[in-house]
Chain A
Amino acid sequence: MRRALPLMSMIALLVPGAVLAQDAAGAPVKRGEYLVSIAGCHDCHTPWMMGSAGPEPDMKRALSGHPQDLTITAPASVSPPWSGAMTPTSTGWSGPWGVSFSANLTPDPETGVLRDFTEQQFIQTMRTGRHQGQGRQILPPMPWPAYGKMTDDDLKAVFAYLRQVPPVKNKVPDPLPPKP
């Protein structure tokens, strides 16, 4: 027993430290999960379906964007005073900009939009509203002006969370230009 005491003491000292380290490592992911849940990301990036109590996000396809099998070929035709329309999935949006489709944010190596993004590029994308921070404009209704006000740490947490959600293979179609 006397021999075991130093070992037990060491374990007693080390284990909480290890747990703390683990918590610290997982903290950004938990923070990111929280932010994604309250910032409305699922409102557009997770396809909605009709549930028993009305429309609800299909969490089996969480954050996978506009379903590839829901084909849309032209902007919606609406008459004034209407200016836009959306699909029942809440993933396809028609407006003066044409048609935009919400991106697949899961880490699928073939179809996930963030597969080529670095953390820095993700932050810059939210700050500038441009693809990878410097490229083409992100289309409405992505509310990047609001998300761009997040702190660097919050955006890093969102990115960390998105990098580890279950990958969903879903090739989101390209946006459509507005009617001439």
Chain B
Amino acid sequence: MAKVIAIAERVRSSRRHRSIVVGAMLVLGFGVLTSVSAVPQPATDNPPPTLQDTGLYADFDTLQVNPGHLAFAPQYPLWSDGATKRRWISLPAGAAIDGSDPDAWVFPIGTRFWKEFSFNGQKVETRYLERKADGQWLYAAYAWNADGREAQLVPAKGKRGAYPLAGGRSHTIPGVTDCKACHQGGLSEVLGFSTLQLSPERDPRAVHAELRPEPGIDLRALVDRGLLVGLPQNLLDDPPRIMAATATERAALGYMHGNCGHCHNDRGSLQNIGLVLRQDVGSADQPAVASTVGQPVKKPAPGQSPDAVLRVEPGHADRSGLTQRVSSRYPALQMPPLGTELVDDEAVALLYRWIAEKGASAQQAHLDREGR
């Protein structure tokens, strides 16, 4: 690897030690770019070296999943460049999830989650979460070999080039730091297993919706099995659904809940941005609309078009900051900023329809006010 710099003429005449310092900075910078090394986070335990050792399978030779683990599917899945996913949860015997706060479930020590990613029928990686005795979550990812017979622990910094995608891009298995960037962005580190995501009142228009796998885990099933306690009764009697003016808006807000709300919420580190895309089931208002529609872009991202002065400009998705960022994969502009290399065209189309709707309703409201 060439580790050199070109320096302008007058700097070239400077003292040698200055060049050495600057050269070292560029070398370091190039190293950062090529390795994207993650800062080691405090680990409570070392992850098992293989997926087999995590206990997902009853029989690894036949890849038979332990029947004690429960398969599930959130109603608003995260976009991962078209990966097909399978997910499981395992709770310790006799333990239950505390759902007293319906927006921040507390999982018992020993809870384990797995999420398997496949592209074109080929298993590529399986991510693993385990709640350790000290209450911390352990993060790990396992990369499958080409014949799908073995899955080894991925280094904490992640793995690039895990599977080729369109346009010369490739799937990246994220490092632990990037996992935590999203999973630690709100009240609960578990993102896809929650009151809204498991509501039996599933959104028929959810983008990339998946069928509920057997045994059909939802709120009622969890409560009936004694695996979820403390959930307010009204959420069982009247299962939660996103409050929205139209079916399109419901799906759009649901998509943003599942893909953006883990960072953009009013409880986590980014709350000062004032962009609330997470749907709290206990909320009486609709902050995802209030914090986007007609709201100014606070600080344009690099590469953002100057005509995007509003996060959502009703009737003008093309010049709305939100859609510009979701539609981009230029690293400085794209949203989400990690975990995806390809634009989710289906989601972009949905957001365009939603913003068009907001424009039409705003126009109608204007006409009504004018008495026409």
By a beta-carbon cutoff of 8 Å, the part of chain A in contact with chain B is 40, 43-44, 48, 50, 54-55, 76, 78, 80-88, 90, 93, 95-97, 100, 116, 118, 120-121, 124, 127-137, 139-146, 148-149, 174-175, 177
Contact = CB atoms under 8 A, between A and B. Distances in A.
Interface stretch (B9-17, B77-85, B357-365): B9-17
A49 B15 CA distance: 13
A173 B36 CA distance: 24
Given A84-B26, A134-B185, A139-B29, 13 more contacts: A50-B10, A81-B2, A83-B1, A84-B5, A84-B30, A85-B5, A85-B7, A88-B7, A88-B8, A95-B30, A129-B177, A136-B337, A174-B303
A118 to B, nearest CB: 6
A78 B6 contact: yes
Contact of B11 (A55, A95, A116, A128): A55
Contacts of B136: none
A140 B11 contact: no
Contact of B39 (A40, A82, A84, A127): A127
A87 B8 contact: yes
B30 A142 contact: no
Given A83-B30, A174-B332, A130 B2 contact: no
Contact of A130 (B13, B33, B37, B337): B337
B273 A116 contact: yes
B93 to A, nearest CB: 36
B62 interface: no
Interface stretch (B127-135, B251-259, B294-302): B294-302
B26 A95 contact: yes
Given A80-B2, A86-B5, A174-B302, A140 B28 contact: yes
A103 to B, nearest CB: 11
Given A95-B26, A143-B32, A88 B11 contact: yes
A128 B26 contact: no
Contacts of B14: 50, 54-55
B210 interface: no
A93 B26 contact: yes
Contacts of A146: 28
Size band of the interface chain B makes with A: 35 or more
Given A76-B6, A86-B22, A97 B33 contact: yes
B339 to A, nearest CB: 12
Contacts of A43: 21-22, 25
Residue of B11, B301, B337 with most chain A CB atoms under a 10 A cut-off: B11
Query: Which 5 residue pairs across A and B have the least CB separation, nearest first?
Result: A141-B29, A140-B29, A174-B302, A148-B39, A85-B6
Interface string B297-317: 011011100000000000000
B234 interface: no
Nearest to B301: A136
B28 A143 contact: yes
Given A84-B26, A134-B263, A121 B5 contact: no
A82 B332 contact: no
Contact of A128 (B5, B177, B298): B177
B272 to A, nearest CB: 6
Contact of B178 (A128, A141, A143): A128
B338 to A, nearest CB: 8
Interface string B319-356: 00000000000111110011000000000000000000
A84 B23 CA distance: 10
A76 B181 CA distance: 33
B21 A82 contact: no
B101 to A, nearest CB: 22
Nearest to B271: A118
A83 B4 CA distance: 6
A90 B25 CA distance: 10
7 contacts: A55-B11, A55-B18, A88-B8, A95-B30, A121-B269, A128-B181, A148-B39
Contacts of A137: 36, 331, 337
B181 A82 contact: no
Contact of B2 (A82, A97, A118, A136): A82
B97 interface: no
B29 A90 contact: no
Contacts of B31: 140
Contact of A141 (B2, B32, B303, B338): B32
B43 to A, nearest CB: 14
